[in-house]
Amino acid sequence: MKHIEFSDVKITGGHWRTRQAINRDVTVGAIYEKFKDTRFNALKCEWKEGDPNFPHIFWDSDVAKWMEGASYILTSSENNEILQIIEQTMKTIMEHSDENGYFNSHFNVKYQNERFWHRCEHELYCAGHLIEAAVAYYNLTGKTEFLNAMCKYADYIEKCFKKEKWPHFTTPGHPEIELALMRLYKATGVKRYADLAKHFIDEHGMQHPNDSFLYSWATNLYNQDDVPVRERNTADGHCVRALYLLCGMADVALEYNDNELKEACKRCFDNIVSKRMYITGGLGSTNLGEAFTIDYDLPNRTAYAETCAAIALAFFSNRMLSLEADAKYADAVERTMYNGIMSGISLDGKAFFYENPLEVDPDFNDRNPATTNKDHYPLTQRLELFGCSCCPPNVMRFVASIGGYIYGYDEDTVFVNQYIESEFDVNGTKIKQITKYPENGKVHISCLSDKKYIAVRIPFWCENFKINHSYTTKNGYAIIELGGNTEIDLDFDMPVRLMCANRRVHSDAGRVAVMRGPVVYCAEGVDNGKDISSVAIDINSKFEISDSEFLLPVLKTAGYRPPESESLYSDASDNYEKIPLTLIPFYAFANRGATEMTVWLLRK
């Protein structure tokens, strides 16, 4: 399946139109303001010993992701001020690039003699993001100057890593260059860049590098160095690294028709979604190494579930869809885009979570010395900036490019992967989709196409649905024959569903999560009082669905709360107080001050 590019798709209404408006009107400016004096300023390479704001190893990537996301935003809306910032930034980068194309603000100002010495200091990661920014800007404007500069940089990387094989390391500690080179190849047609991406993929895990980093107990896993990529069976180590590597692997598998690589990608995808993924689509069970741990280990209160990892799951899943037209990949995108990704940004678009736990207790998270990264504190309140501020511009570029997840096509079929009010008219296919999904499950699609079939995804959460055409099903899609302008009405029955986890997930044992459509719900203390983790719900509960301030409806039902007690331990009893229970979309948690939150409610 080939995807219809986001730039060809117009989002015309609904949830994502609102999200994109906030992204365009608030987020892009808010992030720039927070980055201006540090990350943007660093690109001037004027830092001297004794100055504040020494350029951090990954600051260039923060700017690059902002440039990429801003370019996406400008694709559907004009904003000269933002455009000028992008272009001025490119100019600054080109002015401070070497003759050979190399640019990195951190190494330029202090460690000129240590370029490509340190595997885990993010040079290739930053380079990859600069390349993605260059491709985005080129696609927006058609202007080639910055793209050419990045080609030169890529040529230099090819020289150092592939031709001359510099001695310090062979593959990056943090993948990203691989998928970026594949994008550069697609933008320029220069096959060498794909070959270089494949080179990095082929080399990854082929040896245990000298220059490893952090967590000696897990270094090899941390950087996905434990096995060659084609032998990989599970997703391990640092989640974002793992998923960015998988993106590169999927891209290379497709380009080179590399079945071994494709099978490894499939095994890892299946391992993630069937054993290592939170119900929100969040990834990362521990803050130690921001990492996967083992199958079925999904603790809620100490979940890491980094926003960037959820985004990376969408990146990877959409690439898998290119390799194999199976709805399960679009399902994974849907699960994470309504939950684990969008919990990463406040409803007003200004503040961000790095970690997205499925249970929050302000006492525990803010005072317990055993919890996660202090840089991301408190977990009860989104922050406008982090020391490591990778997530904010990542959410921005994801939201701006959501249109790229909706439609695809192959020889004879056009695919509808996501239900978002939108339209496009490309390559002989014209589609108009009208829906309030996921507010409800009704979708109207008008399609005029020279393809024979339209395949509409049957969402993973849906048991009953109606289609006003005859259809067959294949790989999770309903396939309908096209004939002239075809008007399709889909009605996905969207009841509230109470989900349980596999019995091997200790943390969710005896608990249920409430979903409606793809949206995972949670209970917050501000609505439901204290000790939310002890409140039980009857699995046969009825729910009232009400409009809300949270973009999607809230759910109301009854809960059962045990009595307060002075004693730490007492006789078990059946004393419960019946209380009204309000559930809000998980992505909307922590928008009303510090309060308890839980996704997994006890079963009564």
Residue ranges binding a copy of itself (CB under 8 A): 215, 217-218, 221, 273-275, 277, 279, 285-286, 288-289, 291, 293-295, 297, 301, 359, 361, 363-364, 367-370, 374, 497-506, 509-513, 531, 533-534, 536, 539, 561-574, 602-603
CA angle, 263 then 268 then 270, to 5°: 95
Strand order in the sheet with 407-409: 2-3, 407-409, 413-416, 453-457, 477-481, 472-474
DSSP 542: -
Amino acid (one-letter) located at 275: K
Residues in the chain: 604
Decide if 247 is catalytic: no
Give the pair of three-digit tokens for residue 2: 């080939």
Q: Do residues 148 and 94 touch, judged by C-beta distance below 8 A?
A: no
- Smallest distance, Å, CB 513 to a copy of itself? 7
Report how far residue 404's alpha carbon sits from residue 196's, in angstroms, rounded to the nearest whole number: 25
- Smallest distance, Å, CB 227 to a copy of itself? 16
Find tokens 């959409």 and name the residue. 318
- Active-site hit among 123, 290, 334, 423: 290
Using DSSP's 3-state secondary structure scheme, residue 86 falls into helix
Please name which of 298, 265, 266 lies closest in space to residue 282, comparing C-alpha atoms.
298
Report how far residue 243's alpha carbon sits from residue 252's, in angstroms, rounded to the nearest whole number: 14
Report how far residue 321's alpha carbon sits from residue 408's, in angstroms, rounded to the nearest whole number: 9
- Smallest distance, Å, CB 566 to a copy of itself? 7
Please name which of 46, 19, 53, 7 lies closest in space to residue 438, comparing C-alpha atoms.
19
Q: Give the torsion sign (CA, 604, 357, 394, 555).
A: positive
For the chain, state the CA radius of gyration. Answer: 24
- Smallest distance, Å, CB 89 to a copy of itself? 37
- Smallest distance, Å, CB 520 to a copy of itself? 10
Decide if 390 is catalytic: yes
Q: Kindly state the helix (H) or strand (E) to which residue 544 belongs, with its residue range.
A: strand 544-546
- Smallest distance, Å, CB 367 to a copy of itself? 5
Q: DSSP assignment of 235-267, as one string? A: --SBHHHHHHHHHHHHHHHHHTT-HHHHHHHHH
Using DSSP's 3-state secondary structure scheme, residue 444 falls into strand
Q: Do residues 476 and 458 touch, judged by C-beta distance below 8 A?
A: yes
- Smallest distance, Å, CB 443 to a copy of itself? 23
Find tokens 């504190």 and name the residue. 377
Q: Do residues 499 and 590 touch, judged by C-beta distance below 8 A?
A: no
Please name which of 100, 101, 601 lies closest in space to residue 359, comparing C-alpha atoms.
601
Find tokens 């929100």 and name the residue. 280
Residue 54 buriedness (CB in 10 A; 0-12 / 13-18 / 19+): middle
β-partners of residue 559 are 579
- Active-site hit among 151, 390, 447, 522: 390
Find tokens 């249920």 and name the residue. 512
Which phi and psi (to 5°) does residue 443 adopt?
A: -135, 130
- Smallest distance, Å, CB 4 to a copy of itself? 30
Report how far residue 356's alpha carbon sits from residue 28's, in angstroms, rounded to the nearest whole number: 22
Active site residues: 290, 390
